[in-house]
Chain A
Amino acid sequence: MILLSHYIVVSAILFSIGVIGVLCRRNALVIFMSVEIMLNAANLAFIAFAREHGGMEGQTIAFFVMALAAAEVAVGLGIIMAVFKKQGTIDLAKINFLKG
């Protein structure tokens, strides 16, 4: 018997893994990937709740999240490429344009 909590717990674990990835890794690409994991965890939660309520709205939201992720990846990778061209590295510890 699968309960809603099964999916939500999976979603929470995936999300936490994403958070750890974002916080620990210094490779911009991996951080980006971790963000994708977090987005997917959120999607999973959406769809699980939608399934529980028998509605489709959660799936619609998940669809929008996917579109958003696609847009985000297009721009984000462009930025990472530009930074790489300029700095020669994607190590976030070495990139400090934002240093005030």
Chain B
Amino acid sequence: MQLAFFYFFSGLSILSALFVIFFRNTLSAAIALVVTLFGVACLFGLLEAHFLAAMQVLVYAGAVMVLFLFVIMLMNLGREELLKIKLAFLGIIGVITGVCLAILLVTRFMGLSAPLLSLDLGVEYGTVKSVGKLLFGEYLIPFELTSILLLVAIIGAITLARKPQS
């Protein structure tokens, strides 16, 4: 059952990820990316990371990708400016590099065979409570730093988006 879900969702993620990079239409790419993210979220769920799965959908699909769509629509690139995928020399090198990387990594990691469900996880594994305890306990300082990072990002985005004061 789990294996079926795994194959389904990982296939979904990989397929839609391929769509992301091969769709001409930026908007379609974005939608495909949403599907990828959703699939990855489901994989998170399979890995008992429920909180992160929810956050994945909430943050990525809910906020990040909406921003992408927003920008795409504002630029109105979807139709008028379909950038052609010219497989130039650089592109070919890029593809070769990527494929090499994939082969390298996959052949390397195929060998890992630790069974995932060997450990008896507690009831709280992956819940909001356990993640929260870590975030507000051991990782409090990185957490606060992240909030500063976000603040900086907000200010930066506003500065970039603001109309220049004549």
Contact = CB atoms under 8 A, between A and B. Distances in A.
Contact of B116 (A18, A51, A60): A51
Contact of B115 (A3, A56, A66): A3
Given A71-B153, A75-B153, A14 B20 contact: no
A12 B102 contact: yes
A44 B99 CA distance: 20
- Chain B contact residues: over half helix, strand or loop, or mixed? helix
Interface size class of A (residues with CB under 8 A): 35 or more
Contacts, number: 247
Contacts of B153: 70-72, 74-75
Contacts of A6: 6, 10
B95 A20 contact: yes
Interface in A1-54: 1-10, 12-27, 29-30, 32-34, 36-37, 40, 43-44, 47-48, 50-54
B160 A82 contact: yes
B150 A71 contact: yes
- Chain A contact residues: over half helix, strand or loop, or mixed? helix
Interface in B10-66: 10, 13-14, 17-18, 20-21, 26, 29-30, 33, 36-37, 40, 43-44, 46-49, 51-52, 55-56, 59-60, 63-64
Given A20-B98, A33-B33, A40-B40, A8 B109 contact: yes
Contacts of B123: none
Interface of B: 2-3, 6, 10, 13-14, 17-18, 20-21, 26, 29-30, 33, 36-37, 40, 43-44, 46-49, 51-52, 55-56, 59-60, 63-64, 67-68, 71-72, 74-75, 77, 81, 83, 85-87, 90-91, 93-95, 97-99, 101-102, 105-106, 109-117, 119, 121, 125-126, 130-131, 134-135, 139, 142-143, 146, 149-150, 152-154, 156-157, 159-161
